[in-house]
Amino acid sequence: QRQQPRQPQQARQRQRQQRQRQQQQQQRRRQQQPQQRQQPRQSHP
């Protein structure tokens, strides 16, 4: 009986981990893009 509730919790944890990894990848891409954009802006003035 105790094992049954643990199974859905594990599935939820896996989903959360996958979502966190996707969010981290998106954040890294977003950070890289603005840095590249800021560099040319600084060079113009």
pLDDT in tens, 1-45: 556 666 666 777 777 777 878 777 776 776 665 555 555 555 555
Q: What is the DSSP string of the chain?
A: --HHHHHHHHHHHHHHHHHHHHHHHHHHHHHHHHHHHHHHHHH--
pTM confidence score: 0.39
**Domain extent listing, the chain:** 1-45
Q: What is the pLDDT of residue 43?
A: 56
